[in-house]
Structure 1
Amino acid sequence: MLELCHIHQRYADLPLLQDLSLQVAAGEIVALLGPSGSGKSTLLNIVAGLQAPDAGSVRWDGQDITALAPERRRFALMFQDFALFPHLNVLDNVAFGLVEQRVPKMQARARALQMLALFGLTELAQRRVWNLSGGEQQRVALARALITEPRALLLDEPFSALDADLRVVLRQEFRSRIQAIGMATLLVTHDEAEAREMADRSVRLVQGQLVAAG
Structure 2
Amino acid sequence: MLELRDIHLRWDRRPLLDGVNLRVDAGHTVALLGPSGSGKSTLLKIVAGIETPERGSVWFDGEDITRTPPHRRGFALMFQDFALFPHLDVRDNVAFGLVEQRVPRREARERAQALLTRFGLGAHAQARVWTLSGGEQQRVALARALITQPRALLLDEPFSALDAALREQLRAEFRDRIAEAGMAAILVTHDEAEARAMAQQGWGLHEGKLRSLW
**Structure 1-normalised TM-score?**
0.99
User: How far apart, CA to CA, are the structure 1 residues paired with 2:118 and 2:213?
Assistant: 34
Partner of 2:9: 9
Partner of 1:105: 105
SS of corresponding position for 1:114: helix
Deviations 1:36-76 (A, max 9, x none): 10000000000001111111110001110011111100001
User: How far apart, CA to CA, are the structure 2 residues paired with 1:13 and 1:98?
Assistant: 41
- Count of paired positions: 214
- Counting only pairs closer than 5 Å after superposition, residues 20-59 of structure 1 correspond to structure 2 as 20-59=20-59
User: How far apart, CA to CA, are the structure 1 residues paired with 2:80 and 2:153?
Assistant: 14
Partner of 2:70: 70
SS of corresponding position for 1:68: coil
Partner of 1:168: 168
User: How far apart, CA to CA, are the structure 1 residues paired with 2:156 and 2:82?
Assistant: 10
SS of corresponding position for 1:211: strand
User: How far apart, CA to CA, are the structure 2 residues paired with 1:90 and 1:189?
Assistant: 27
Partner of 2:96: 96
User: How far apart, CA to CA, are the structure 2 residues paired with 1:58 and 1:151?
Assistant: 14
Runs of 4+ that moved beyond 2 A: none
Shift of 1:112: 0.5
Shift of 1:82: 0.4
* Matching residue's letter, 1:157: E
SS of corresponding position for 1:103: coil
For structure 1, list consecutive stretches of 5 or more residues without a partner in the other structure.
none
* Matching residue's letter, 2:123: E
Deviations 1:142-168 (A, max 9, x none): 000000000111000010000000000
* Matching residue's letter, 1:27: G
Shift of 1:88: 0.7
For structure 2, list consecutive stretches of 5 or more residues without a partner in the other structure.
none
* Matching residue's letter, 1:108: A
Deviations 1:88-139 (A, max 9, x none): 1100000000011111111111110111011010111111111110000000
User: How far apart, CA to CA, are the structure 1 residues paired with 2:171 and 2:19?
Assistant: 31
* Matching residue's letter, 1:41: S
User: How far apart, CA to CA, are the structure 2 residues paired with 1:96 and 1:28?
Assistant: 26
SS of corresponding position for 1:32: strand
SS of corresponding position for 2:116: helix
- State yes or no: 1:178 paired with 2:210: no
User: How far apart, CA to CA, are the structure 1 residues paired with 2:106 and 2:54?
Assistant: 43
Deviations 1:1-28 (A, max 9, x none): 0000110011122210001110000011
* Matching residue's letter, 2:54: D
User: How far apart, CA to CA, are the structure 1 residues paired with 2:49 and 2:90?
Assistant: 27
Partner of 1:116: 116
Shift of 1:180: 1.1
